[in-house]
């Protein structure tokens, strides 16, 4: 009897402790939290660097956002919220003052100060750092950035000044209303000078890395993955629920999906092209598609070395009109992408997609107009008989499928022959940048959530304007937009001009398709830049 009582009491105690351990609930929503607060996700490729000033890839930025914290964070909808800065203001959009919180700390215990930002930004622009993203500092318009990158000015002349430990004053070359929005980018994250000077290039290795984000780098094996653990010196650590982050690197999309289905990790992005609808049926609560701020387009080479026929506006229009975007989006991609008739992604903050005429027509109307235009061009003496082009794309199944479809559409509707030319990625980039193409598949992704990140591409001097489209009015409007308090009407006009000239063929706006375990909550589905912070995630008990 005694034994029985003892056993019962032990069982009761055990039950009691389990209930306690598993009994945490979310402080705000009250949801019951799981015992194991680990978030793991899959990366397509390993990240080349964790050094914020050197990062140039999306997945690297995802990692940096956990290890470091910039002046400004984004909330679930992509709005600016305080990061290290608690408040910011500018009387004229030209001189910006950021007030920094006094409890922000590096993971080695050092306080995060305004000097850390000044140092990081000078470092990003400094030619000695040779950051491939140095140009980002220049487009934030911080004074002298361009000169520093060019090697004409000393990094210390950068227009960023620490007034005191917690006040940062930034002077721009010209007013920029959306300057704070650009501070959420990895390039602008702070850097710890003493750590970098101590370890040199190896400062981002586990054990050396000192960050100021919600997580610390615990381990990393190239090609296998990495582990991050909650950072105890983070100022807001009491509100961080996920304890551990695991990154798993799997190059193969199909293999990654199988392993996700096997329950190895929580998030798998992206899913193999074309499989999204089936996955949505199979996993209705876990298959997600959200807009992604990238646009897919065909660049038309209108430079002097480009094909003669492409210099005729009507030919360019006919080519664009006859591309049935709905077929590409609904039959090939099938992942929530949207057909594009203008360049800027429709989900860009504060951007109202302009009504582009041909976007409102039916495909039959577009096809009829295309034929009309070709006939018109022919009547005007443009040599359109036996017209043929070559479509350049980088080797990939999806690009090939799309190029094949488009060449079929052109053949059937316009009698235009389009040959396909695929090149391996780096060779393709070379060909594109040297105008060694007629029509090239291309894509452009936003660096910050504002329409100019797209539309600047179509200005004459832009380094990635590979088709060499040039319209003086577009250049002028984009220059104006930089200082305008309400640039939307300017953007609308630019989009209309590009559509009228058909300086490129917009094809679709990206969506991000991914699988996310339904117990993981707090993912910012409405953040169009897909900037996620694991500090906002939590895992609920099943």
Partner 1 sequence: MTPFIIRRLAIAIPTLLILIIFSFLLMEAAPGSPFSTERGVPPQVLANLEARYGLDQPLWKRMGIYVWNIVTQFDFGPSFVFKDRTVNEVIAQGFPITVTYGVWSFVVAVAIGGTLGIMAAVYHNTWLDYLAVGISVGAQVLPNFVMAPILVIVFTLWLGWLPGGGWQGGQWQYIIMPVIALSTSFMASIARLTRSSMLEVLNSNYIRTARAKGLPMRRVIFLHALKPALLPVISYLGPAFVGMITGSVVIDVFFSTGGIGQFFVNSALSRDYSMIMGITILTGALTIFFNLVVDILYAWIDPKIRY
Nearer to partner 1, 293 or 442 (CB): 442
For residues 474-533, which are near partner 1 according to CB under 8 A? none
Q: How far is the CB of 413 from partner 1 (least distance, A)?
A: 30
Spell out, one character per residue from 296 to 335, where the chain touches partner 1: x when CB under 8 A holds, - when not: ----------------------------------------
Taking contact as CB under 8 A, which single stretch among the options 24-32, 197-205, 343-351, 385-393 is the one that binds partner 1?
Answer: 197-205
Taking contact as CB under 8 A, which single stretch among the options 40-48, 98-106, 324-332, 411-419 is the one that binds partner 1?
Answer: 40-48
For residues 46-75, which are near partner 1 according to CB under 8 A? 46, 48-51, 54, 56
Q: How far is the CB of 412 from partner 1 (least distance, A)?
A: 31
Asked if residues 259 and 33 have their Cβ atoms less than 8 Å apart, the reply is: no
Taking contact as CB under 8 A, which single stretch among the options 61-69, 75-83, 126-134, 496-504 is the one that binds partner 1?
Answer: 126-134
Here the tokens at position 175 are 């007013």
| Residue 44 in the binding site for partner 1 (CB under 8 A) | no
Here the tokens at position 409 are 């559409």
Burial class (CB in 10 A: 0-12, 13-18, 19+), 516: buried
Here the tokens at position 431 are 């060909």
For residues 164-193, which are near partner 1 according to CB under 8 A? none
Asked if residues 498 and 458 have their Cβ atoms less than 8 Å apart, the reply is: yes
Asked if residues 173 and 143 have their Cβ atoms less than 8 Å apart, the reply is: yes
| Residue 223 in the binding site for partner 1 (CB under 8 A) | yes
Q: Rounded to an integer, what is the distance from CA 350 to the centroid of its chain?
A: 17
Distances, alpha carbon 405 to alpha carbons 158, 316, 398, 513, in Å: 50, 17, 11, 22
Taking contact as CB under 8 A, which single stretch among the options 41-49, 228-236, 497-505, 519-527 is the one that binds partner 1?
Answer: 41-49
In this structure, which long-range contacts are made by residues 356-363, counting pairs with CB atoms below 8 Å and at least 24 apart in sequence? 356/495, 356/496, 356/499, 357/499, 358/317, 358/320, 358/321, 358/499, 363/324, 363/326
Nearer to partner 1, 82 or 206 (CB): 206
Q: Rounded to an integer, what is the distance from CA 63 to the centroid of its chain?
A: 13
Q: How far is the CB of 149 from partner 1 (least distance, A)?
A: 6
| Residue 248 in the binding site for partner 1 (CB under 8 A) | yes
Query: Look-up: residue for tokens 């700390």?
Result: 105
Separation CA 418–CA 428 (nearest Å): 18
Q: What is the 3-state secondary structure (H, E, C) of 297-357?
A: EEEECCCCCCCHHHHCHHHHHHHHHCCCHHHHHHHHHCCCCEECCCCCCCCCCCCCCCCCH
Here the tokens at position 78 are 């992509």
Nearer to partner 1, 81 or 150 (CB): 150
**Identified binder of partner 1 from the candidate list 252, 408, 460, 526, rule CB under 8 A:** 252
| Residue 278 in the binding site for partner 1 (CB under 8 A) | no
Here the tokens at position 7 are 């056993």
Nearer to partner 1, 55 or 416 (CB): 55
Nearer to partner 1, 413 or 441 (CB): 441
| Residue 261 in the binding site for partner 1 (CB under 8 A) | yes
395: phi then psi, degrees, rounded to nearest 5: -55, 115
| Residue 134 in the binding site for partner 1 (CB under 8 A) | yes
Q: How far is the CB of 261 from partner 1 (least distance, A)?
A: 6
| Residue 89 in the binding site for partner 1 (CB under 8 A) | no
Q: How far is the CB of 219 from partner 1 (least distance, A)?
A: 10
DSSP output for 103-163:
T-B-TTSPBP-HHHHHHHHHHHH-TTT--TTHHHHHHTTBTTHHHHHTTSS-GGGSSEEEE
Number of residues binding to partner 1, judged by CB under 8 A: 57
Nearer to partner 1, 324 or 529 (CB): 529
- b/e string for 406-442 if b means 16 or more Cβ within 10 A? bbebbeebbebebeebbbeeeebeebbeebbbbbbbb
Q: Count the alpha carbons within 13 Å of 322 in the hemisphere toward its beta carbon.
A: 25
Taking contact as CB under 8 A, which single stretch among the options 97-105, 145-153, 186-194, 321-329 is the one that binds partner 1?
Answer: 145-153
Taking contact as CB under 8 A, which single stretch among the options 182-190, 221-229, 406-414, 489-497 is the one that binds partner 1?
Answer: 221-229
Query: Look-up: residue for tokens 């939290």?
Result: 33
| Residue 443 in the binding site for partner 1 (CB under 8 A) | yes
Q: How far is the CB of 440 from partner 1 (least distance, A)?
A: 11
Q: Under the rule (CB under 8 A), what is the footprint of partner 1?
A: 45-46, 48-51, 54, 56, 127-132, 134-135, 138, 149-151, 201-205, 221-225, 248-252, 254-255, 258-259, 261-264, 424-427, 429-431, 433, 442-444, 463-464, 466
């Amino acid at each position: 009897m005694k034994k029985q009582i003892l056993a019962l009491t032990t069982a009761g105690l055990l039950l009691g402790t389990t209930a306690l351990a598993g009994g945490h609930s979310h402080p705000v929503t009250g949801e019951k939290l799981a015992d194991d607060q680990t978030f793991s996700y899959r990366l397509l490729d390993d990240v080349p660097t964790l050094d914020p000033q050197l990062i140039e890839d999306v997945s690297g930025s995802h990692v940096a956002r956990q290890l470091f914290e910039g002046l400004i964070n984004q909330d679930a909808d992509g709005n600016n919220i305080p990061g290290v800065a608690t408040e910011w203001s500018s009387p004229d959009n030209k001189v910006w003052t950021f007030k920094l919180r006094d409890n922000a700390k590096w993971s080695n215990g050092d306080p995060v100060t305004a000097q850390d930002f000044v140092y990081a930004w000078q470092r990003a622009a400094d030619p000695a750092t040779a950051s491939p993203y140095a140009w980002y500092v220049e487009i934030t318009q911080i004074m002298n950035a361009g000169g520093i990158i060019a090697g004409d000015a000393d990094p210390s002349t950068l227009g960023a000044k620490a007034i005191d430990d917690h006040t940062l004053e930034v002077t721009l070359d010209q007013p920029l209303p959306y300057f704070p929005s650009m501070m959420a980018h990895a390039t602008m994250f702070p850097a710890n000078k003493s750590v970098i000077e101590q370890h040199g290039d190896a400062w981002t290795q586990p054990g050396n890395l000192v960050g100021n984000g919600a997580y610390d780098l615990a381990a990393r094996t190239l090609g296998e993955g990495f582990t991050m653990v909650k950072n105890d010196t983070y100022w807001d650590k009491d509100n961080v629920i996920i304890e551990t982050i695991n990154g798993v690197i799997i190059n193969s999309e199909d293999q990654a999906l199988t392993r996700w289905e096997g329950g190895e990790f929580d998030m798998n992005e992206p899913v193999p092209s074309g499989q999204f609808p089936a996955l949505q049926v199979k996993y209705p609560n876990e298959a997600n598609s959200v807009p992604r701020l990238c646009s897919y387009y065909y660049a038309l080479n209108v430079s002097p070395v480009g094909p003669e026929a492409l210099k005729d506006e009507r030919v360019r229009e006919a080519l664009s009109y006859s591309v049935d975007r709905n077929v590409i989006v609904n039959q090939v991609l099938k992942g929530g992408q949207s057909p594009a008739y203008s360049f800027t992604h429709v989900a860009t903050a504060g951007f109202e997609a302009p009504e582009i005429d041909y976007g409102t027509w039916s495909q039959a109307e577009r096809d009829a107009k295309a034929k009309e235009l070709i006939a018109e061009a022919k009547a005007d003496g443009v040599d359109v008989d036996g017209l043929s082009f070559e479509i350049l794309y980088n080797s990939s199944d999806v690009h090939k499928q799309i190029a094949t479809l488009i060449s079929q559409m052109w053949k059937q509707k316009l009698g235009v022959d389009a040959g396909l030319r695929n090149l391996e990625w780096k060779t393709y980039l070379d060909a594109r940048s040297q105008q060694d193409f007629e029509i090239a598949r291309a894509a452009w992704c936003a660096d910050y959530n504002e329409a100019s990140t797209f539309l600047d591409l179509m200005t004459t001097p832009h380094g990635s304007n590979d088709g060499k489209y040039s319209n003086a009015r577009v250049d002028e409007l984009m220059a104006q937009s930089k200082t305008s308090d309400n640039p939307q009407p300017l953007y609308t006009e630019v989009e209309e001009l590009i559509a009228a000239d058909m300086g490129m063929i917009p094809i679709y706006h990206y969506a991000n398709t991914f699988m996310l375990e339904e117990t993981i909550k707090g993912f910012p589905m409405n953040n169009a830049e897909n900037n996620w912070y694991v500090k906002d995630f939590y895992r609920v008990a099943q």
